[in-house]
Amino acid sequence: MVEMVGAIDRMTDPGELILIVDDEPDMCWALEHLLNKQGYVTRKALTALEALKLMERHRFACAFLDAKLPDMDGLELARRIRERAPDMRILMVSGYFYRDDLAIQEAIAQGVIIDFISKPFLQAEILRVLET
């Protein structure tokens, strides 16, 4: 019963809204399914432009961004999001980059993103990042 109350509290708290941005619908579905099952409310976008439009209507606590989007590089999107929402937790999820890539290391050091998760990922990796 306590877990159910916690899940309901997260779902009604606008500070726990999570943005998922990936041009692969299956990846969006996988992240949505995992996060919704944990009680988080999500919104998804298949392009950077869609994500920026969603940010005009919602206040997100966290964003999972793909590195390669059809209309903008994921790191550039992260920079634009950071300008609009300095406190948002932004995570890069990518099969294109690796954690030790210079661009990723610089983005983490500069505070553009807070962490990086490589695809394919384990569910535990996504949940660990949300809990920290």
CA dist 31 → 5, 19, 52, 86, 103 (Å): 22, 10, 19, 23, 24
Most confident of 12-21, 36-45, 100-109: 36-45
- DSSP 3-state of 1: coil
Q: What is the pLDDT of residue 49?
A: 97
The pLDDT assigned to 58 comes to 95
Based on the structure, what is the number of domains in the chain?
1
Over residues 56-106, the pLDDT tens digits come to: 999 999 999 999 999 999 999 999 999 999 999 999 998 777 678 888 999
- Full residue range of the structural domain in which residue 73 is found: 2-131
Residue of 99, 102, 105, 103 lying closest to 119 (CA atoms): 99
DSSP secondary-structure letter at 14?
G
**15 pLDDT exceeds 90?**
no
Does the structure show a pLDDT above 50 at 33? yes
Percent of the chain with pLDDT over 90: 66
129 confidence band (pLDDT: 50, 70, 90): confident
What's 122's domain CATH number? 3.40.50.2300
User: Which regions of 25-132 does DSSP assign to beta strands (E)?
Assistant: 41-45, 62-66, 89-94, 115-118
